[in-house]
Amino acid sequence: MHSYFGINVEDIFDSMPDRFRPEGARGITRSFGYDISGIGGWRLSVKEGAMTLEKTDDLESCDVVMETDGETFVGLNIGKIDGMTAFTAGKIKVRGDFNSFAVTSRMFQRYLPPGQAMQKEQELISLKKIISVGQRFATGPVMGKFLKGLKDKKILAIRCPSCGRLQSPPREACAICRVRNDEWVEIGPKGEMRMMEYCYYASPDPLTGETRETPYGAIGILLDGCKDEEVFWHLLRPDQLDRAKMGMVFGEKVVHGSRLRPVWAQNRTGGIFDIKYFELDE
C-alpha cells in the first residue's frame, strides 16, 4: 500500500466502481491510463455509461495517459492539490488530450476517506453544567482561634510542649511527639520565601467554588520567629511570580530568600483568605 495524507493510492482506485456515476459518463467512450510513478498503472475504460478498471502497466493502447506521483494523485482526489497548479509545476504530465481528463470529475463521486462522510453530517450534543454544593466547615477550637487571629491581622502558631516546634496553621496535637499542643505564639507577619511551586492546574476552591487563575505560586514562607521547617503556606502575588527568590539551607550555609509581607483583605471574615496573598517587602 502507498499512503499519502493518510490515504492509500490503491483505495482510490478500488473505490472507483462504487463511486461511478453512469449519468456523468453518458456519451463518453474513452480509455484513460493512470501511470503513478513507482506504484503502478491502471486502465479505466468507459463505454455506454459503464466502466471497467484494470491494473496494468501496459497503457500504450489508452486514449489518454496521466503520469504523476502518488502524493499528487491522492492530493488531487481529496482536493488538497489543485490540478492546474500541479500541471504547471510539472507534477502531472498528460500523454494525449489534456482536457479529456476533465470529464472524469463528472463521472465519479468524490472520494471520502472511511468515516469522514459520517462525521461531517452529525451535530453532536454536549451539555456543560456547574453543580454548586453548599458546604459547612466546622473550625473546632484550635483552627477557630487561628482564623479569628487572621481577622485581627495576627498570624498565630501553636507550640509543642515536648519538642518545641511551631505549627501554623495549628493542629491540636504534635503529630511527632503525640502530645497536645497548648502554647500560642504570634509569628510574622513578615517573613522570607523558602520555596515556591508554580501551579498550572487549579482545582475549584471549596470555599468559593471559584477556580483561581493559573499559573499561580504556592509558597512556603518562613515567618519571623520560626525556624527550619516551620514554613507557612500561602499564595504569592500573581505578578511577582518571577521576581521572588527562594531561600535555601545547605548544611551550615543559609541563602536567604526574598522578604515577603502579607496583604490583608479589607473585609476579613475569619478565613485563610483574610490574607489575600504575600508580596515582596521592598
Partner 1 sequence: MRKDFDVSDCYVQEGKLALPYSYFAGRVGSTFITTLRDQRRILGVRCNTCGKVFVPPRQTCERCMEDIRNNWVTLSNTGEVVNYTVVNYDDRHLPRKAPFILALIRPDGADTPMVHILEGIEGDKVQPGLKVKAVFSEKTTHTILDIDHFEPVA
Binding mask 65-104 for partner 1 (x = CB under 8 A): ----------------------------------------
Cell of residue 277, nine digits = 496573598
85 vs 269, which CB is nearer to partner 1? 269
Q: Which CB, 49 or 271, lies closer to partner 1?
A: 271
Residues 250-279 that bind partner 1 (CB under 8 A): 269-271
Q: DSSP assignment, residue 110?
A: P
Nearer to partner 1, 84 or 130 (CB): 130
Asked if residues 46 and 25 have their Cβ atoms less than 8 Å apart, the reply is: yes
Tally Cβ neighbours within 10 Å of residue 108: 20
- The one-letter code for the residue type at 2 is H
What CA–CA distance (Å, rounded) separates 176 from 194?
Answer: 22
Q: Which residues in 125-164 contact partner 1 (CB under 8 A)?
A: 125-142, 144-145, 147-148
Residue numbers 113-132 binding partner 1 by CB under 8 A: 122-132
* Burial zone of 87 (CB within 10 Å; 0-12 exposed, 13-18 middle, 19+ buried): middle
Whole-angstrom CA distances from 53 to 20, 45, 76, 151, 165 are 11, 6, 19, 85, 87
Q: Which is nearer to partner 1, 38 or 206 (CB)?
A: 206
Which residues face 32 on adjacent strands? 44, 64
Tell me the closest approach of the beta carbon of residue 168 to partner 1, in angstroms: 15
Write the binding mask 198 to 237 for partner 1: x where contact by CB under 8 A, - elsewhere. Answer: ------x-xxxxxx--------------------------
Q: Report the interface residues with partner 1, using CB under 8 A.
A: 122-142, 144-145, 147-148, 204, 206-211, 269-271
